[in-house]
Structure 1
């Protein structure tokens, strides 16, 4: 039996020009003018390399509601971010995020997470196509080996995205599926175990790392994989594998994988934390990044997330839940009586990464200080564009470039990176894995203190004598603030199996009232009730359309 029922999804969504070019009917035997043929791709080394490079970009999105919301290689990140599915931020205008926050995920309604499955398998199919045809292309053996290594890296990245969202998934090997294939075989839909999936992706990364260069030779190659990128992805995968949710690897393996990146001696910590996410230049903290530019267009983070007082749209609004995680400059939690924290002057003497990440009342921005107080604050409900007023009292600072305009920004030249892997993550990976493997030895302290002590942050070193559990809690907090808004928190709280705690509390914000004498009164508030997290939410549901496309042979995640 042959079926085309699921061609628009999962394994078969990407038919490329191959299926079109192979059509035998005379009335369809025309030369398409809107695509490059299969013969042209394999017959021209430049076109083939362009095909490989485009696999970094991922599938183009035509659904306007989904555009700009997807994590991974193809995501334009200025609209609803993955942070707005966690306790980091609330998206001001929903944008298909609130159902996740409220625990209403279902196979029929997956919100902004709905295209992850199909777009990942589409990319895997495209990689398999390139690998199946690379030997037909006229180019040097060394060049061919480099492209094969890049393709294996991209395929491993796509599986990593599937694993961390769904758990064990079907592994399709090198198969390139086409319209004429038989899709009725149950083995096609058999989900491998998490361990099998991790092992497969890691094997691909080991093969890629053995061939990829330590660095790209010219600036235009900076967005392509290197040995460090492959090892960094391996580090993340093995850290996840060892974590409680996965329970499919050892902490010793995870520590060794992170140490392999450290031992390359190519990476360090950028001296300006805020600037790293706007214009890192050739920073040695960046291991692998996507450099966003479409022609002369920059990514308009500024209007999408800007305060309403500047006619911004609000966008991804930091929660008080996140703001409270930043220590004081004494290196202590704000709940510690010795920290010096003043709830009526809450942003004074705080971890400098707070100022670099969150716009709060009084923070300098575009020539004035932010005003979220009422009455009369320019960035409050009393200001212009008040329908975009922050529901939490905060706006996003990270990734936002003040040199870029807020109004009519789309045709302005600029370059903003999305950093997939940076050295701070590797240090945090190592510290966590090493602490779990052997306890808080000096190498754990060194990794964490390097991040806390970097230029511009300069927080006190961690106190000596911490237990393994105490160090674990410090690392959890350090990841929360250091990696805020970088799409780690969603996966971290799940792999640690603490999401049933962190995601079952309300969205908190701040209300600031300007009193008659001009002083400000700060009061914590609930900005959104109804956040909910159920046990099944540790994994995303496979969209119902994908289950149906498999003739119900694909097994859904439990309790959906």
Structure 2
């Protein structure tokens, strides 16, 4: 069974528990929520742990949240229309503050809901009648999910209150940067030796694996610019021999191939029954009927939001015309009147990277959300090697492996690059490979181009304090020891 369907079942059970009639609000219902009763069974442990998975997954859905910060603040995407247009306008213009966009409170809270559930598991699992091997794995899963939630918080806000117990004071100061980095490194490193392999028989797709832990460790080292550790963690993941590039980029993100390919290192599983992938709802252009070649057809079970997520012309035009990855950005389409509509030259092309699920139910498509891909790991090691030693043949070979899959088979030549020019080339390659995967802001920050890129787009107010977001004002009000980020 996929984790996505288990999570859907957990959501259903939970909703039944909380939406029952008045006569059911009795001691039996409350006992289901009491840790002493809940952790007396293996099923109870699983329910709480899957709640933590669920909160992390909802946090990273394309309906909002991380997409807003990681893409709309950068140079690939922009948005108009729909219910989120006011929030998009703020993100695009760098005019956010601690009280707005209000979705920050939801993002912050969902991360801490996930942390809370993981802490509940870690504090109570010893009382559960579970064999030692299973208990060790579940503890590793809880530590992994908790660390992944803190990783999101750290990349958005910097160090945050590090809540590792459900019994601590509500008023808690933020951890230091050193404490935050030490925690994340230790958690991902420790569990990477305990979590099962990707293809462990009977292990549910979508649960934490040793590869996912090494993937997060690679990304953590990359974005904190710990180059040798990044190169080593990436190599450790590669040496697992559990992952490989899917041969066809244009079909990598389809529902049909999500469990066939071995490229997704870590995903948030999505289901048409929810939580679903909502990317395409904002990607469809107005009155979309089909692509010009007829390969994608809008069906009545799908939704086309008023929200319009658009691709910048500068990014679309930066692709080599032979690059197969550009094929997932449509530049024209057939509308419901049967006319061909061009999307070129008005910052209006659309990413169809998550190819629509033909069995979508309303807003929910079943395409799993790729959080870490093997291609990212290859490019991360290439970047780390270049920062350590300058251009090397190994670094170019890693980049070329990704380019070959995109149909760009002319090899890169070692003598054509300096350390600085290869650094810029890697940033470009990451953009072409990983667009719409919510890594662009982190990439621009690491390369020292987040603020300069914004200024080049005419955002004159962009300055250093925008590198971190303001902690939600609701948290500042509730936690007097939590200091706001500078500039807000």
Q: TM-score range by the shorter chain?
A: 0.7 to 0.9
> Within 1, Cα distance between the matches of 2:234 and 2:439?
16
The offset of 1:366, in angstroms, is 11
> Within 1, Cα distance between the matches of 2:176 and 2:340?
50
Residue number in structure 2 paired with 1:386: none
Are 1:89 and 2:72 an aligned pair? no
**Matched residue SS, 1:371:** strand
CA displacement 1:11-64 (0-9 Å, x = unmatched): xxxxxx9xxxxxxxxxx97333796442332111112112212211117979xx
The offset of 1:123, in angstroms, is 1.7
Residue number in structure 2 paired with 1:137: 128
**Matched residue SS, 2:37:** helix
Would the alpha carbon gap of residues 428 and 366 (structure 1) be closer, same or farther in structure 2, given more than 3 Å must change?
farther
Would the alpha carbon gap of residues 59 and 223 (structure 1) be closer, same or farther in structure 2, given more than 3 Å must change?
closer
Contact 2:70–2:442 at 8 Å: present in 1 too?
no
> Within 1, Cα distance between the matches of 2:479 and 2:69?
30
Residue number in structure 1 paired with 2:367: 416
Are 1:207 and 2:185 an aligned pair? no
Contact 1:453–1:459 at 8 Å: present in 2 too?
yes
The offset of 1:297, in angstroms, is 8.4
The offset of 1:82, in angstroms, is 4.0
CA displacement 1:84-103 (0-9 Å, x = unmatched): 33211112221512202111
> Within 2, Cα distance between the matches of 1:394 and 1:224?
35
> Within 2, Cα distance between the matches of 1:423 and 1:67?
21
The offset of 1:137, in angstroms, is 0.5
Spell out the pairing of 1:223-302 with structure 2 (5 A cutoff): 223-242=206-225, 250-279=226-255, 280=257, 281-295=259-273, 299=277, 301-302=279-280
Structure 1 window deviating more from structure 2 (209-218 vs 126-135): it is 209-218
Would the alpha carbon gap of residues 182 and 142 (structure 1) be closer, same or farther in structure 2, given more than 3 Å must change?
closer
Higher helix share: 2
Q: Tell me the number of residue pairs that the alignment of Structure 1 and Structure 2 aligns.
A: 444
Residue number in structure 2 paired with 1:158: 149
Pairing partner for 1:436 from 380, 387, 395? 387
> Within 2, Cα distance between the matches of 1:154 and 1:160?
10
Pairing partner for 2:310 from 317, 321, 326? 317
**Matched residue SS, 1:292:** coil
> Within 1, Cα distance between the matches of 2:356 and 2:32?
36
The offset of 1:298, in angstroms, is 5.5
Would the alpha carbon gap of residues 163 and 472 (structure 1) be closer, same or farther in structure 2, given more than 3 Å must change?
same
Would the alpha carbon gap of residues 458 and 51 (structure 1) be closer, same or farther in structure 2, given more than 3 Å must change?
same
> Within 1, Cα distance between the matches of 2:62 and 2:285?
22
Would the alpha carbon gap of residues 182 and 144 (structure 1) be closer, same or farther in structure 2, given more than 3 Å must change?
closer
Residue number in structure 2 paired with 1:383: none
Would the alpha carbon gap of residues 225 and 402 (structure 1) be closer, same or farther in structure 2, given more than 3 Å must change?
closer
Residue number in structure 2 paired with 1:351: 323
Pairing partner for 1:57 from 47, 54, 58? 54
Would the alpha carbon gap of residues 504 and 269 (structure 1) be closer, same or farther in structure 2, given more than 3 Å must change?
same
Contact 1:297–1:410 at 8 Å: present in 2 too?
no
- Which protein is bigger by CA-based radius of gyration? 1
> Within 2, Cα distance between the matches of 1:262 and 1:287?
11
> Within 2, Cα distance between the matches of 1:450 and 1:365?
38
Would the alpha carbon gap of residues 542 and 477 (structure 1) be closer, same or farther in structure 2, given more than 3 Å must change?
same
Residue number in structure 2 paired with 1:398: 353
**Matched residue SS, 2:251:** helix
TM-score for the superposition, normalised by structure 1 = 0.72
The offset of 1:391, in angstroms, is 6.2
Residue number in structure 1 paired with 2:486: 558
> Within 1, Cα distance between the matches of 2:32 and 2:283?
36
